[in-house]
Structure 1
Amino acid sequence: MKKKIQVIIKNNNFKQIKKGKVISVFTGYAFNYLIPNGIAEVATKNQIKHYKMFSEIARKEQEANSIATQKIKNSIEQISKITIYKKIGDKNLIFGSIKEKDIINWINEYCDVKIEKKQIQIENISNVNINLFKINIKQNITVTVRLCIIPYNI
C-alpha cells in the first residue's frame, strides 16, 4: 500500500490552498479526514482535467472583467468636467441640490457608460461652484471628476 496519495482540494478554505490544487498527502489523512469532510477528493486524470478546465474558464472571465473595467475607467477619465445647469436664488444657492441621479443621467447621455448610484461619492452641493466628486469603478479603482454648476434664471 502506498504511503502517500494524490488528492485535489475542493474548496478554498483549506490551509490557504486554492481550489483545484493537487497535493500529496498520507493515505490515512486523505481517507479519514479530507475525503469524508468534503475538503478533497482522489485525484484521477479526468478530475485533474476537469479542475484545469474550470480554472481556465475562471481566468478568462477575470481577464474579460479587468478589460471591461479598464475601458470604463478610460472613458470616464476622458471627461474633463461635467456641467449641470441649475436655477439659482439668493446668495448663489441653487434650487434643490445636485444628486447622484443628475450625474448618472449626464454620464449615460454623453459617455454611454452604465454606472450605479452607489458608485458615486458626492457631498451635498447646494451652491454655484466647481466641485470634485469620485466615481468608484471597482473596489480599488477610483476616478475623480470635476463638476461645474452653471446658474441660469428664467
Structure 2
Amino acid sequence: MSKKLQVVLSKSVNKLGKDGDLVEVAPGYATNYLIPQGIAKLASPGIIKQVEQRKAKEQQRILAEREAAEAFQTALQAVGRFVVRKQVGEGESIFGTVTAQDVVDAIKASTGQEVDRRGVTLPDVGKIGFYKAQIKIHPEVTAEVEIQVASL
C-alpha cells in the first residue's frame, strides 16, 4: 500500500471536489493525470495555509450573509402586514389571483428592499382577506408575513 498525496484542485472534478479544495488522492492519479493536466497542484505547507485562509474568509462571508438575512427577517416581521390590492367581483372574489410578484411588489413598496419572487410561497388566494406567506430570504432563513388582500 502506498500513501496518499495531498493536492489542491485548480478545477472542479466530479466526485472529487471543487476548485480550491484540498483532497487526498492516489499517487499515480495525481502524478499521471491531475498534475500534468493542470487540474491540481501538489500541496505544500504554504498552499495548505492559503487554502485554510480562503476557507475561513468564505465562512465569514456566509455568516455575514446569514446575519443580514436574519436582520431582514426581523424587519419583515416588524412591518407585520403587507397589503395587495386587487379588483373584486361578487362575493368578495377577486379577479385573477395574487401572485408572488404582487407580494414582492408590496414588500418593496413598504421596505424598499428586493425579495426574490421564486422564494415566495403563497396559499391559493381567491377572495379578499388575510393570508400567510412564506418568504425564503436565505437557504437557512425563512420569514412568515401576513398578506392582506383588499379591493382597489
Shift of 1:108: 0.7
Query: Which amino acid in 2 is paired with 1:107?
Result: I
SS of structure 1 residue aligned to 2:134: strand
Structure showing the higher strand proportion among its residues = 1
Residue 53 of structure 1 aligns to a residue whose secondary structure is helix
The answer to whether structure 1 residue 36 and structure 2 residue 46 are counterparts is no
Conservation of the 8 A alpha-carbon contact between 2:8 and 2:43: no
Q: For residue 79 of structure 1, report the CA deviation from its aligned partner.
A: 2.9
> If the length of structure 1 is used for normalisation, what is the TM-score?
0.72
Unaligned runs of 5+ in 2: none
Q: Distance in 2 between matches of 1:140 and 1:35?
A: 40
Q: 1:92 to 1:63 in 2, by over 3 A?
A: same
> Does residue 141 of structure 1 match 2:137?
no
Q: Which moved more, 1:6-15 or 1:63-72?
A: 6-15
- Unmatched runs of 5 consecutive residues or more in structure 1: none
Q: Aligned residue pairs: how many?
A: 142
Aligned-CA RMSD value: 2.9
Q: Which shifted more, 58-67 or 3-12?
A: 3-12
Equivalent in the alignment of 2:101? 101
Q: Is the 8 A contact 2:7 2:30 kept in 1?
A: no
Percent identical residues: 15
Amino acid at match of 1:36: N
Q: Deviations over 1:52-87 (max 9, x none)?
A: 232232222222222222222222222311122333
Which residue does 2:62 correspond to in 1?
62
Are residue 131 (structure 1) and residue 127 (structure 2) matched? no
Q: CA deviation at 1:6?
A: 6.0
In structure 2, the CA distance between the partners of 1:92 and 1:116, relative to structure 1 (3 Å rule), is same
1:8-87 to 2 correspondences below 5 Å: 8-10=7-9, 13-14=15-16, 19-20=21-22, 29-30=26-27, 32-38=28-34, 41-87=41-87
Helix, strand or coil for the counterpart of 1:125? coil
SS at match of 2:84: strand
What CA deviation, in whole Å up to 9, does each residue of 1:69-123 have, x standing for no partner?
2222222222311122333221111233222222111111111221111111113
